[in-house]
Structure 1
Amino acid sequence: MARLEVNRSGEMEVFVSVVQLGGFSPAARAFRMTPSAVSKLIARLEERLGTRLLNRSTRQLQLTPEGSAFYERARDILADLEDAERAAGMGEQPVGRVRINTSASYANHVLAPILPEFMQRFPGITLDIVQTDLVVDLLAERTDVAVRAGPLKSSSLVARKLGETTPTIVASPAYLERCGEPQTIAELERHNRLGFGYARTVDGWPLREDGRTIVVPPAGRVQTNDGEGMRHLALAGVGLARLSMFTVRDDIAAGRLKPVLAHLETGEMEAFHAVYVGQGGPLSSRIRALLDFLAEHGRIN
């Protein structure tokens, strides 16, 4: 009987808020409790579960591995409860907020054109779109779905593949007229090769010449941390850029950019995935709706 007296959903709500809001004090304000009461509630929860969920310090709280796993499941359970309550009065239409983290390139060239249809199909869902090329911690950034390029590292993330694209070196006609068009890897040495200002899986441009694959490092006077920003630099004639084909296809067709050294490309493909936290556990209907929609309409090639 004692087990039935425990308000487990209430404990989960407070714990999830502590994690998402970043501390006992903001969670206390959200629930009109004192920070001490929130701290004691979390301590009771940890005692009941028989494990530490949070490592506490004077400045911050950090999830333990057990706390991270409990947070993921608790968040999903609360989302399902919310969906069930809303479904009772509103039917099965998904309702709620979904936070997406993606690159500006994907947001501009793929996501934005399909958003009107998504919003019409799911009027109860609110989207919060964060644009960055940097890989983020989904838990720390309170992100529901992230769209990322490149190979996936083994982690607690689950992925749905959204297709593949070919990276290609491009430049504006004005730049090529001013600096000449390179025909060999050696000729790249005298060109401004735009690079990214953060670590990448392959930090360079793989090209194949004389039967060998050579990775040419970007070496220019300008760096950026944003693929869409690099596209605009290329359009402005600042230098050569290596970008995903789906972001420059229209520019090439319109003559604003021109492929360079296409005969030396290796033909490698770069995969895109929609990733989310979990290990096959229950997903809220709002997140599932977005993932299914991206798998249908948000694919790239």
Structure 2
Amino acid sequence: MIELEDMRYFIEVAESGGFSRAAARLGVSKSIVSRRIARIEEHLGARLLNRTTRGVTASDAGLEFKARAERLLADYDEALDAVAVHGGEVVGRLRISAPLSFGIHHLAPVLAELAAAHPRLELDVSLSDRLVDLIGERLDAAIRIGKLEDSSHVARRIAPIRSLVVASPAYLARKGRPARPEDLATDHDCLIYTGSRSPEWVFTRGEATISVRPRGRLRSDSGETLVAWALAGLGIVQLPSFLIGDTVDTGALVPLLLDHPTPEFGMYVVRPPGPHTPGKVRALTEALLRHFGGTPAWDRCVRHVAETEAAARQAKKAEERG
């Protein structure tokens, strides 16, 4: 009989387009992958993969086998998951993607706790700011931050995501504060995040929305790099509070344009469509809600800024009355 694990190896090779890439994803040697694929082809008496110097592709027979193998494995995984739920266990391999900076600073400790609580759970985590294809890359879930586009995927909102526009005291002493969002396009040096599809910074003024294309010579797709540049006094940056909360709390970075707040977005767990939520995805979602649900700890800087601004307004009114 063909083993279920052999099917998994075949699907990985067909999806990745090569034995080496599949082996790297599976965490085994290339020779093991080759032997398993050869065993399937010998058992079936058919060539499932077309091999060329440029890689491998599934043959017509391979495409038929892959479609049915995926259904069998999905049913098998769902059966294991249903049994494990009754025993309070989480089993299987959880393949997830998450934004790079968020993954390093906030997600990694949550996943460590999840792995410790469930010894039979395997984790395969990819950290990248690109928009991944859950189905094409065979992921169980993705952590997404921002505004979700319409899709057939199932999403669960975990927490609000708020941004602040900040600069260091040294920069402000040298260049002054922007009085309005439009100043960022003319009179200031901005540090620009290139991982976003939109080059504009968005603010609100009352019920109106203002879009500004900031001016700046320093650009990066790394949030940590932008934080370091801002701390060095090189410019003004707009970043989520989960990246700059501590620096705002200590005064190393100063919030700007508070009377023109930026829109609030969200953090979501997104999974492929289907009526059944795997236990491993459900466990991930519950862990994220425990840690970040409601008002996340990193938003203490936003609350502190709002309270400070409110106190300042009250003091000004009292002074005007006096």
1:30, distance to aligned residue in structure 2 (A):
5.2
Q: 1:3 matched to which residue of 2? A: none
Please show how residues 6-21 of structure 1 align to structure 2 within 5 Å: 13=8, 16-21=11-16
Is the Cα–Cα contact under 8 Å of residues 110 and 288 in structure 2 kept in the other structure?
A: no
Q: 1:105 aligns with which of 101, 115, 122?
A: 101
Could you tell me how far apart the structure 2 residues matched to 1:230 and 1:175 are?
14
Q: Which residue of 175, 192, 195 maps to 2:192? A: 195
The answer on whether the counterparts of 1:73 and 1:281 sit within 8 Å (CA) in structure 2 is no
Distance of 2:227 and 2:71 partners within structure 1: 40
Bigger mean CA offset, 67-76 vs 15-24? 67-76
SS at match of 1:181: coil
Segment drifting more, 115-124 vs 268-277: 115-124
SS at structure 2 position matched to 1:129 = strand
Instruction: Mark the runs of 5 or more structure 2 residues left unpaired by the alignment.
Output: 24-32, 300-322
- 1:201-216 map, 5 Å: 202-209=198-205, 212-216=208-212
Q: Is the 8 A contact 2:190 2:235 kept in 1?
A: yes
Q: Tell me, what secondary structure is at the counterpart of 2:133?
A: coil
Asked if 1:280 corresponds to 2:305, the answer is: no
Among 141, 146, 165, which residue is 2:142 paired with? 146
- 1:220 alignment partner AA: G
Q: Distance in 1 between matches of 2:230 and 2:70?
A: 41
Q: Which of 26, 29, 35 is matched with 2:34 structurally?
A: 29
The whole-number CA distance in structure 2 between the counterparts of 1:129 and 1:117 is 14
Unaligned runs of 5+ residues in structure 1 are 1-5, 44-53
Q: Deviations over 1:32-69 (max 9, x none)?
A: 516855996687xxxxxxxxxx9999755489999998
Larger relative contact order (C-alpha < 8 A, sep ≥ 6)? Answer: 1
Partners of 1:197 and 1:204 in 2: how far apart? 11
Check conservation: 1:172, 1:258, Cα contact below 8 A: yes
Q: In the alignment, which residue of structure 2 is the partner of 1:134?
A: 130
TM norm structure 1 = 0.74
1:161 aligns with 2:169: no
Cα 1:152–1:125 shift into 2, 3 Å = same
Identity %: 33
The whole-number CA distance in structure 2 between the counterparts of 1:196 and 1:107 is: 17
In structure 1, the partner of 2:75 is 77
Q: What SS does structure 1 have at the residue aligned with 2:160?
A: strand
Is 1:170–1:259's contact at 8 Å kept on the other side of the alignment? Answer: yes
Change in CA separation of 1:206 and 1:23 when aligned onto 2, cut-off 3 Å: same
Of 160, 173, 176, which aligns to 1:177? 173
The total of aligned residue pairs comes to 281
Q: CA deviation at 1:140?
A: 4.3
Paired residue secondary structure (1:159): strand
Q: Does 1:96 align with 2:101?
A: no
Q: Secondary structure of the residue that 2:190 maps to in structure 1?
A: coil
Native 8 Å contact 1:194 1:240 kept in 2: yes
- CA-based RMSD: 4.0
Is the aligned partner of 1:219 residue 2:215? yes
Residues 134 and 279 (structure 1), Cα distance of their counterparts in 2 relative to 1, 3 Å cut? same
Aligned to 1:47: none
The alpha carbon displacement at 1:260 in A equals: 0.9
Q: What displacement does 1:232 show? A: 2.7
How far apart in 2 are the matches of 1:70 and 1:219? 53
Shift of 1:274: 1.0
CA contact (8 A) 2:226 2:237 kept: yes
Go from structure 1 to structure 2 and tell me whether the alpha carbon gap of 1:174 and 1:257 turns closer, same or farther (over 3 Å shift).
same
CA contact (8 A) 1:167 1:244 kept: yes
1: distance between equivalents of 2:153 and 2:67?
12
